[in-house]
């Protein structure tokens, strides 16, 4: 290095050229990612739109492969699964979030819980499906809506917990101090001051979790399995395979019939549309609450 002069013009030019090449590569990378996104959503949207009709939402499967009807049962099935999962996962997840943010920021239980939440969020969803199979399908003797929603709830809890914690953290400490100074108890402070101040963002976190599990297929394969009929007969006593949008799409897409494949495309479009709307809503809510 010592024999090169400190201001070699050729080196300088070299560095400048390298720099501008790298600069353009960075721009190109971003453009390529956006291009990929446009390619994927554009194609799914294009095909999906052409196969989407009102029947898709209003008709059940007919069993006829050339005229397969619609996916009403699967849409309702997904809604039922999501509500059952939310019923368990949202209170649990929120309680964990409250614990982490309000009660025990630095205790060992809190740091272990935070760590485990992060780790659970990275567990492959298919493994969660295996757990649901072992815990509910094997003892009950059949695939069921309960097993499916348990698997979904398992995925939701860590997401809800961590986002609730982060959102409650954004509430200024002065709110809590003021409330306690007025003589409110801890519980009253949490329910009447902290949570109301963070309602928007907390709902955002819940929506985020819902959007994530609405598109899950893998955990449902071994738990709810999917079905051609939505039936609530003997819902509790005699568990039956339960339909869901994603499982139905998977079945149709990998099957041999063209008309069913069309339904799969339409189903994907509905799913992505739903997730897009949720994402936009989240952006708006977060932008408003940060102001």
Partner 1 sequence: MTNQPAQEQPSPDSDQAADTSVALRHRPSVFSKLVDQSLLTVCRFSACVVLLMLGALLFVLVKSSWPAIQQFGGSFIIGTTWRPNPLEQPARDAAGKIIFEDGEMVTKTVPPEFGALPVVYGTLLSSAIALVFAVPLSLGCALFLVRIAPWWIEKPVSFLVEFLAAIPSIAFGLWGLFILAPFLQEYAEPWAKTLLGGLGVFNWMFTDSANRPISLTGRDMLCGGLILGIMIVPIITAISRDVLRAVPRHQIEGSLALGATWWQSCVEMLKYAKAGLFGAVMLGFARAAGETMAVTMVIGNNNQISPSPFAPAQTMASLLANEFAEAADPLHQSALKLVALVLLVMSLFLNIIARYLVVGGASGKSRE
42-71 residues in contact with partner 1 (CB under 8 A) are: 43-44
| Orientation angle between helical segments 199-214 and 72-98, nearest 10 degrees | 140
Per CB under 8 A, contacts with partner 1 among 244-273 are: 246, 249-250, 253-254, 264-265, 268, 271-272
Nearer to partner 1, 84 or 101 (CB): 101
Nearer to partner 1, 43 or 232 (CB): 43
Stretch that binds partner 1, among 33-41, 50-58, 60-68, 74-82 (CB under 8 A): 33-41
CA distance 219 to 126: 5
| 277 lines the binding site for partner 1 (CB under 8 A) | no
Nearer to partner 1, 16 or 288 (CB): 16
Nearer to partner 1, 76 or 275 (CB): 275
Stretch that binds partner 1, among 68-76, 78-86, 213-221, 232-240 (CB under 8 A): 213-221
CA distance 226 to 213: 16
Provide, rounded to whole angstroms, the least separation between the CB of residue 253 and partner 1: 5
Per CB under 8 A, contacts with partner 1 among 141-180 are: 154, 157-158, 161, 180
Strand, coil or helix: what is 225? strand
Closest C-alpha among 160, 153, 164 to residue 87: 153
Provide, rounded to whole angstroms, the least separation between the CB of residue 207 and partner 1: 11
| 229 lines the binding site for partner 1 (CB under 8 A) | no
Q: Out of 5, 139, 183, 256, which residue is the one contacting partner 1 (CB under 8 A)?
A: 183
Per CB under 8 A, contacts with partner 1 among 74-103 are: 92-93, 95-96, 98-100, 102-103
CA distance 254 to 244: 16
DSSP letters spanning 150-210: HHHHHHHHHHHHHHHHHHHHTS-HHHHHHHHHTT--HHHIIIIIIHHHTHHHHHHHHHHHH
Closest C-alpha among 130, 140, 134 to residue 239: 140
Q: Which residues pair with 225 in a beta bridge?
A: 242
Stretch that binds partner 1, among 53-61, 74-82, 124-132, 227-235 (CB under 8 A): 124-132
Structure tokens, 139: 């003892």
């Amino acid at each position: 290095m010592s024999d090169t002069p400190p201001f070699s013009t050729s080196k300088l030019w070299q560095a400048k050229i390298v720099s501008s090449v790298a600069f353009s590569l960075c721009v190109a990378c971003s453009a390529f990612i956006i291009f990929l996104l446009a390619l994927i959503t554009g194609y799914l949207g294009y095909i999906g739109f052409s196969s989407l009709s009102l029947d898709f939402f209003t008709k059940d499967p007919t069993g006829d492969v050339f005229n397969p009807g619609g996916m009403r049962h699967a849409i309702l099935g997904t809604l039922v699964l999501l509500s059952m999962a939310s019923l368990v996962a949202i209170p649990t997840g929120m309680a964990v979030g409250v614990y982490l943010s309000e009660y025990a920021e630095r205790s060992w239980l809190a740091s272990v819980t935070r760590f485990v939440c992060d780790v659970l969020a990275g567990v492959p969803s298919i493994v969660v499906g295996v757990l649901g199979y072992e815990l509910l399908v094997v003892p009950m003797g059949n695939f069921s809506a309960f097993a499916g929603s348990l698997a979904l709830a398992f995925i939701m809890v860590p997401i809800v917990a961590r986002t609730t914690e982060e959102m409650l953290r954004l509430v200024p400490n002065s709110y809590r101090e003021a409330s306690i100074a007025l003589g409110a108890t801890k519980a009253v402070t949490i329910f009447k001051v902290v949570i109301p101040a963070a309602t928007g963002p907390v709902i955002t976190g819940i929506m985020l979790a819902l959007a994530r599990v609405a598109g899950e297929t893998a955990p449902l394969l071994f738990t709810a399995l999917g079905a051609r009929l939505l039936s609530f007969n003997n819902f509790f006593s005699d568990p039956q395979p339960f339909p869901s949008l994603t499982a139905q799409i998977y079945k149709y897409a990998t099957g041999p019939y063209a008309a069913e494949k069309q339904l799969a495309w339409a189903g994907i479009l509905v799913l992505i549309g739903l997730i897009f709307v949720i994402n936009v809503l989240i952006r708006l809510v977060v932008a408003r609450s940060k102001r």
